[in-house]
Amino acid sequence: MTPNKPETNTEDPARIAGFEARIAAGETIEPKDWMPERYRRQLVRMMSQHAHSEVVGMLPEGNWITRAPTLRRKMSLLAKVQDEAGHGLYIYCGTETLGVDRHELIQQLLNGTAKYSSIFNYPTLSWADIGAIGWLVDGAAIVNQTMLAKASYGPYARAMVRICKEENFHKRQGYEIMATLSAGTPAQKRMAQDALDRWWWPSLMMFGPHDTDSPNSDELLRWGVKRKSNDELRQRFINLTVAQAKAIDLVIPDPQLAFDEKTQNWLIGPIDWDEFWRVVRGNGPCNQERLAARRQAHDDGEWVRVAAAAYAAKQARAESTSEAA
Amino acid sequence: MTTMANDSTTRDADAVTTPSDTQWPLWEVFVQPPGGAPHEHAGSVHAVDAESALQNARDVYARRGEGVSIWVVRSIAITASTPDDMGPFFDPGNDKPYRHPQFYKVPRGIRM
Amino acid sequence: MNAPFEYLLRLGDDRIILGHRLSEWCGHAPILEEDIALANIALDLIGQASLLLGLAGKIEGQGRDGDALAYLRDAVEFRNALLLELPKGDFAVTIVRQLFFSVFALLQAEALERSSDQELAGIAAKAVKEFRYHVRHSADWVLKLGGGTTESQNRAQRAVDDLWRYTGELFLADDVDRAAAASGFGVDPSTLENAWSETVRDVLARAGLTIPDVSYMQRGGRTGRHTEHLGHLLGEMQILARSHPGASW
């Protein structure tokens, strides 16, 4: 399918109005449809960040595949990390319908110009981190992705539908690990609480800055790429998670956490946005390691990718020669 | 979109072992679910040839028993209607009520 | 000697150890599609290992389950072939080993479908389908590497050269194998060698790869005489399970 090529002409306001009317009417935008260049660029940015996050997200969890404590846990974790690779792949494919190659996007990740979710710049220090990631990080991602499954861009929305279906097990396996640890030996319980302590706040940061500090939000909402604001989604996640923590006897590490009867929301203490921006800007605990690992895999794999392409080219040549003969 | 296969058929295979990066061609994947429903577009994969495209499609889009059959086709081989076609292509189908069973009257009480 | 138990350990250990090695690729494969493919193969192997070790524990009757056998035995108690514990190496090593093992395991599973033990026959029947795909995937890659670039051919050839001397062990039969085969429970691995050799030689020949002259085939895994690599692999694999005795996960 020939993807949408970037428009160079200045854009006709009437055309933009027509485009926005389509979105307001709930129509999906498809690859060959006309779209404002800025819409296209915002989507490429968002979708490729999302795809990069899936791929980089394989690393912290992959860190424990070889140490998973039972065969069942080893298989679940491997299947989960494999799903992340699949999800990265689906979203890259969706992004490619916007006229960029996956190869270009991966270059942007590897040379540090593209962003990915900062949550994956935190280390997995104990087995309980695998539980915490499944429960909190995938939990937060599901809240976000359920919304994105209704995004205005068809290929993105369809990728999200598939991903949401598959990710159902991710959160449950994480929560099950946490519940088991919390009900286990004192050392296991400590492990679980410690993981919650470390992952709680970074998970809340996954939804991005407060609405008042989120420059892209208005436009993304107007264009139906996002359907809910960062703060709305974060609140939804908090409300779901507080009850889940109580049910398995773990303590949310926020002394100011309080239930607001009026809004029926759990209110939290202040998020440390300095930490958020520090990690976004590359100074999280694992930023360098994550990129180095991706670069290494990419570089080590180069000869393999080249070999396969060379083989296929030889085969194609041999076929065309035998046809000509 | 340029693809590796297009490029590399015209040069010596070993010439592509330069450090420059490789992108495998894109294939569209259609999976037939169990139960006789038609093949449906699932997504795409990168692969150098049809056999690896099939294998990749199987691993990527049928990990959970989603399929009983898979088609793969080079993305560039697909010709698609354009949004400009939308009116002329599809509207004429909208005003032919005689193509639908409700157009025809049947005496009361007769089960068809 | 409990021949069925020992025999099942060999089957199960081959699969858990190779599955573990393959899982090391997760997140580090040459391309995303291959990340997913290698993880699929690893999952098939670990899944089979879980069933086989579970059955072994049941037959042993000492209250050990699959996890106890996988996580609480020392290296000298493992019964996998040496080929499978070698480090994952580069992609060529991984793929060539996968071809060697998958062709063997497919033949073995096809024979085990006729096992006198219903449970083992059932595990084998499912495994046959999985191994057919593993053979297809690894053979396809061996052709690509052998017929790709000079570098890929060199790497594939080096992998064949390095690994070939570990293939003989797959077909060595001892009392355990013979007893298991005689009772109809298992299959004598030496009966699989000709068919294996035919398939593997055919793939290697088509890939332009040659088989090295090897004066001695390495052996020892089936009796617990392993390479040094296994201890490190187990050190990693078992650390958590062993650090918390009696804990559930």
- pLDDT reported for residue A325: 64
Asked whether residue C29 is domain-assigned, the answer is yes
Residues C241, C249: Cα–Cα separation, whole Å: 9
Q: Judge whether C151 lies within some domain.
A: yes
Q: What percent of chain B clears pLDDT 70, i.e. is strictly above it?
A: 79
Which residues of A fall within a CB distance of 8 Å from C32? 55, 85, 88-89, 92
Within 8 A by CB and 6+ apart from A95, the residues are A43, A44, A47, A48, A51, A102, A105
**Model pLDDT for residues C28-68, shown as the tens digit of each residue:** 999 999 999 999 999 999 999 999 999 999 999 999 999 99
Whole-Å CA distances, C228 to C75, C153, C206, C231, C233:
9, 29, 34, 6, 9
Per-residue confidence band for B103, with pLDDT thresholds at 50, 70 and 90: confident
Interface A-C: count of C-beta contacts within 8 A: 146
Using an 8 Å Cβ cutoff, are A29 and A47 in contact? no
The closest of A85, A135, A164 to C39, measured between CA atoms, is: A85
Answer whether A200's CB lies under 8 Å from A136's CB.
yes
**Measured between CB atoms, which of C36, C133, C140 is closest to B60?**
C36
Q: What is the mean pLDDT of residues A118-128?
A: 97
Average pLDDT taken over every residue of chain A? 93
- Residue-wise pLDDT for A206-233, tens only, equals 999 998 888 778 888 888 888 899 999 9
Partner residues linked to B74 by β-bridges: B27
Q: Pick from B10, B11, B26 the residue to mutate for testing the A interface (most A CBs within 10 Å).
A: B26
Distance (Å) from the alpha carbon of B108 to chain A's nearest alpha carbon: 40
Q: End-to-end distance of chain C based on CA atoms, in angstroms?
A: 32
Contact B63 C40 (CB under 8 A): yes
**Coil, strand or helix: which one is C82?**
helix
Domains of chain B: 4-84 (3.10.20.520)
Which residues of chain B make contact with C203, given a CB cutoff of 8 A? Answer: none
Q: What is the CATH number of the domain that holds C159?
A: 1.20.1260.10
How crowded is the C-beta side of C46, counted as CA atoms within 13 Å?
A: 28
Amino acid at A78: L
- Tell me whether 0.95 is exceeded by the ipTM: yes
Does residue A157 carry a pLDDT above 70? yes
pLDDT range class, residue A3, cuts 50, 70, 90: low
Residues in chain A within 8 Å Cβ distance of C249: 69-70, 73, 127, 177, 180-181, 184
Burial class (CB in 10 A: 0-12, 13-18, 19+), A189: middle
State which amino acid sits at residue A176. Answer: E
From chain C residues 8-37, the ones with a CB under 8 A of any chain A CB are 16, 20, 23-24, 26-36
For residue range C171-227, what is the model confidence (pLDDT) as tens digits?
999 999 999 999 999 999 999 999 999 999 999 999 999 999 999 999 999 999 999
Residue B10 has pLDDT above 50, yes or no: no
What is the spatial distance between Cα C104 and Cα C101, in angstroms, rounded to a whole number? 5
Residue B13 is predicted with a pLDDT of 38
Q: Range of C42's domain?
A: 3-243
CB contact under 8 A, B55 and C137: yes
| Region A172-201 average pLDDT | 97
Task: Provide the pLDDT confidence category of residue B91 given band limits of 50, 70 and 90.
Answer: confident
Please list every residue in chain A whose beta carbon sits closer than 8 Å to the beta carbon of residue B45.
Answer: 89, 93
Residue C249 lies in a domain: no
Contacts of B74 in chain A (CB under 8 A): none
**Neighbours, chain B (3 or more CB pairs < 8 A):** A, C
Closest C-alpha among B32, B69, B74 to residue B53:
B74
- The domains of chain A are located at 13-273, 286-325
* Whole-number percent of chain A with pLDDT over 90: 86
pTM of the shown model: 0.92
Q: Which fold has domain A13-273?
A: Ferritin (1.20.1260)
Q: Is the pLDDT of residue A320 over 70?
A: yes
Put simply, whether A258 touches B (Cβ < 8 Å) is no
Among B11, B52, B54, B68, the strongest candidate for a mutation testing the C interface, having the largest count of C CBs within 10 A, is B52
Does the beta carbon of A316 lie under 8 angstroms from any beta carbon of chain B?
yes
What is the tally of structural domains in chain C?
A: 1
| Residues of chain B with C-beta less than 8 angstroms from the C-beta of C40 | 59, 63
- pLDDT value at B12 more than 50: no
pLDDT tens, residue by residue, A74-120: 999 999 999 999 999 999 999 999 999 999 999 999 999 999 999 99
Contact A126, A117 (CB under 8 A): no
Q: Render pLDDT for A259-303 as a digit per residue (tens, 0 to 9).
A: 999 999 999 999 999 999 999 999 999 999 999 999 999 999 999
Close Cβ partners of C249 (under 8 Å, ≥ 6 residues apart): A69, A70, A73, A127, A177, A180, A181, A184, C240, C241
pLDDT for the residue numbered A322 = 81
What the block records as the tokens of C67 is 């996890």
Which of A164, A161, A245, A149 is CA-nearest to residue A203?
Answer: A245
Backbone angles phi, psi at B38, to 5 degrees: -70, 165
Contact in structure between A99 and A5 (CB atoms under 8 Å): yes
User: Please, is B110 exposed, middle or buried when counting C-beta atoms within 10 Å of its C-beta (0-12, 13-18, 19+)?
Assistant: exposed
Tens digit of each residue's pLDDT (9 = 90 or more) over C137-173: 999 999 999 999 999 999 999 999 999 999 999 999 9
Partner-chain residue, chosen from B5, B63, B80, that has the shortest CB–CB distance to A1:
B80
